[in-house]
Amino acid sequence: MWLPCRCTSKTIVTSYARRVFKSYFCVFGRWKCDVAALMPEAVGFEGVKDCSSLQEFSVSNSASFWAAAARHRLSWIKPFHTVQDCDLSLGRIKWFEGGQLNVSVNCLDRHVDTCPERVALIWERDEPGSEIKAAPGDDMSPRKPVETAWREKGDCVTIYMPPCPLAVASMLACARIGAAHNVSSTVITVNQGVRAGKVTELKRTVDAAVKDCPSVQQVLVAMRTENPVTMTAKDMDMEEEMLKEDVVCEPEAMDSEDVLFLLYTSGSTGKPKGVVHTQAGYLLYAALTHRYVFSYQDGDVFGCVADIGWITGHSYSVYGPLANGGTTVLFESTPIYPDPGRYWEMVQRLKINQFYGAPTAIRLLLKYGDQWVQKYDRSTLKTLGSVGEPINTEAWEWYHRVVGDGRCPVVDTWWQTETGGICITPRPSDPEIVPGMAMRPFFGIKPVLMDTEGKVVTSNPASGALCLAQPWPGMARTIHNNHERFIETYCQPHPGYFFTGDGAYRSKEGYYQITGRLDDVINVSGHRIGTAEIEDVVNQCSAVAESAVIGYSHDIKGQGVYTFVVLKKDADDQEADLSQQLNNMVSKNIAKYACPDFIQFVQRLPKTRSGKIMRRVLRKVVERDLDGLGDLSTLDDPAAVQEIIQGHRKLC
């Protein structure tokens, strides 16, 4: 190479080297910086440069990914020695074995030291403008009651409370002492609940339940209203008890796989099952999804309006936000109290940054018109979330265009009580978000679709049964007292995979859309309920011979409840009175939302010759798809179908 002189050559070489190094450092620096900003613990993961390569890494290097996340996100008393020991075909799921930690320390103590002034909870009470804010050191905060734990490790506690700081305190108190919250020797409740200006007698409901539950030894009663309630020998005034105990309660060291809580949820058969979640994996998954699905930043106010008794409230009103040291809103009211502007007035007043709600409420509010939204300043909003049921395009568009002023990403989050946290969802930073689609798997999640023969469908577009091919830390471990049922329901339908019970469509781009349940579970206003549960209650009525419950498409609720009832011979003349009676029974034994929208009395149900009710036929009648009735050759008595069609026409 020709060089004019040594000096020049030196200059050229140096400047060349500088440029090369500069660009190298630029690229390296940016890469390092981008990944660190994306997820600090991902720095150093091979080949990871953006969200999608991180997702790929998290699935193909699951153990490295989750180990790094667990070390970075959780405070451990003792480090874990094994990241995972799982075999989906056997229903064996264990994460972070050898590790010990305390969930309440992770949700409270460690944040008290770093930012004691930060508001942890905002209790948005029923009456707008009467909110109460609590920092971790305040009297109203969960920390105080947490320190006055009253039971022993290993106990079980049922919490039956509306969204309020004492409910969160009770959950964290259980976590602190190592008592699983739900099934019980102790019940914690309030005297009365208040919602939409109406008082509900919660304590009275507990009294009735405790009568049939000899295992319950004590009931702690907090006062939500000033109205006194009758106290029994087992009852104790919660606030009085808390005052008595002024000792600081040291947190128990809990094993990663100790039970954290149980939540009961519906399946297609039998009684609701107690889904079991454990300590470390659940907390990590709730925290990570909360931070990344909603782009939650320190100092943001997170507004999840779900009831805290639902898994959504557990993961995204309580554990996720608190583990992240965030500010979370506990919403006691309804979307239309005192008027349909409630959510948005609250967003303005509390300066909410992420709003997370259910499609059924969005559909309801849409009908009241844009003016209720536009009246209020929503400029603090950054992300809008949807949960619990499919969100139709009209509701999605309205949420995005009107509520989010077209500038806030809408994340349609798919998950279940069993998954512990969000599994399929767009991310706010994604370049493309398709309305009404959950789209992409979260870190560590590998969805697959199964065809009717149980084979994985690899082509796109495709539809099939949605399964998850790899375990993840947030997944349920078992069904309380019934591991067999856990295996049967989730592991056996497609051995080696977790079967979700949902059907899904995958577009040619590879995006997922949930199409609904594949079993006899329906989703009414985001509430999951087995048709068999409603039938069980209806069949308890002495005049009823048998019944069949079907879900049908409903404008606001997503699905409505349609009930076919066959009366006993001598009860034929009581139809008018019975409708009301059946509604009351369902409301009392299950919930108001489970009440039938329609009750059709029929002479008989369409059955196969082997006596199985042909639900497919009933569904088609209710959907008015008479051309789709399909093959009726196995029907015992084809006349039954004609009777049902005529009766349906008269009723609807």
Q: In Å, how far are 387, 413, 564 from 399, measured between CA atoms?
A: 13, 14, 36
Part in contact with ligand PRX (CB under 6 A); list of ranges 111-119, 250-258, 339-347, 413-421: 413-421
Neighbours of 446 (CB within 10 A): 18
Residue 306: CB minimum distance to ligand PRX, A: 8
Residue 490: CB minimum distance to ligand PRX, A: 12
- Interface pattern 207-246 for ligand PRX (x via CB under 6 A): ----------------------------------------
- With binding defined as CB under 6 A, does residue 533 bind ligand PRX? no
Residue 156: CB minimum distance to ligand PRX, A: 21
- With binding defined as CB under 6 A, does residue 514 bind ligand PRX? yes
* Type of residue found at 34: D
Residues in the chain: 652
Which residues face 412 on adjacent strands?
386
Residue 474: CB minimum distance to ligand PRX, A: 12
Part in contact with ligand PRX (CB under 6 A); list of ranges 181-189, 439-447, 482-490, 500-508: 500-508
- With binding defined as CB under 6 A, does residue 525 bind ligand PRX? no
622 Cβ contact partners less than 8 Å away, ≥ 6 residues apart: 550, 552, 562, 648
- With binding defined as CB under 6 A, does residue 262 bind ligand PRX? no
* 70 vs 387, beta carbon nearer ligand PRX: 387
**Half-sphere CA count of 56, side-chain side, radius 13 A:** 7
- Among residues 523, 525, 547, 559, the one that binds ligand PRX under rule CB under 6 A: 523
124: helix, strand or coil: strand
Part in contact with ligand PRX (CB under 6 A); list of ranges 190-198, 279-287, 495-503, 576-584: 495-503
534: helix, strand or coil: helix
* 398 vs 601, beta carbon nearer ligand PRX: 398
Residue 523: CB minimum distance to ligand PRX, A: 5
- With binding defined as CB under 6 A, does residue 489 bind ligand PRX? no
> How far apart (Å, rounded) are the C-alpha atoms in residues 341 and 349?
12
> How far apart (Å, rounded) are the C-alpha atoms in residues 625 and 611?
24
* 360 vs 416, beta carbon nearer ligand PRX: 416
- With binding defined as CB under 6 A, does residue 501 bind ligand PRX? yes
* Type of residue found at 320: G
- Near ligand PRX in 382-411, by CB under 6 A: 387-390
- Secondary structure, 3-state, 5-60: CHHHHHHHHHHHHHHHHHHHHHHHHHHHHHHHHHCHHHCCCCCCCCHHHHHHHHHH
- With binding defined as CB under 6 A, does residue 506 bind ligand PRX? no
- With binding defined as CB under 6 A, does residue 517 bind ligand PRX? yes
Query: Of 448, 431, 563, nearest to 500 (Cα)?
Result: 448
Residue 426: CB minimum distance to ligand PRX, A: 11
Dihedral (Cα; 464, 465, 471, 473), 10-degree rounding: 110
- With binding defined as CB under 6 A, does residue 502 bind ligand PRX? yes
* 96 vs 355, beta carbon nearer ligand PRX: 355
- With binding defined as CB under 6 A, does residue 320 bind ligand PRX? no
> In the β-sheet with 259-265, what is the strand arrangement from edge to edge?
235-237, 218-222, 186-190, 156-160, 180-181, 259-265, 273-278, 478-479
Part in contact with ligand PRX (CB under 6 A); list of ranges 27-35, 200-208, 338-346, 499-507: 499-507
- With binding defined as CB under 6 A, does residue 415 bind ligand PRX? yes
- For residues 526 and 452, is the Cβ–Cβ distance under 8 A? no
* 150 vs 302, beta carbon nearer ligand PRX: 302
- With binding defined as CB under 6 A, does residue 360 bind ligand PRX? no
- With binding defined as CB under 6 A, does residue 617 bind ligand PRX? no
- With binding defined as CB under 6 A, does residue 417 bind ligand PRX? yes
Which residues face 265 on adjacent strands?
273
Let me know the angle formed at the C-alpha of 221 by 220 and 226, rounded to the nearest 5 degrees: 165
Residue 531: CB minimum distance to ligand PRX, A: 14
- With binding defined as CB under 6 A, does residue 465 bind ligand PRX? no
Query: Of 60, 70, 63, 69, nearest to 85 (Cα)?
Result: 63
State the number of binding residues for ligand PRX (CB under 6 A): 21
Residue 499: CB minimum distance to ligand PRX, A: 11
Long-range contacts from 392-400, C-beta under 8 angstroms, 24+ separation: 392/359, 392/363, 392/436, 393/435, 393/436, 394/366, 395/359, 395/362, 395/363, 395/366, 396/435, 396/436, 397/435, 398/362, 398/366, 399/362, 400/435
- Among residues 528, 607, 620, 648, the one that binds ligand PRX under rule CB under 6 A: 528
Under the rule (CB under 6 A), what is the footprint of ligand PRX? 265, 311-312, 387-390, 412-417, 438, 500-502, 514, 517, 523, 528
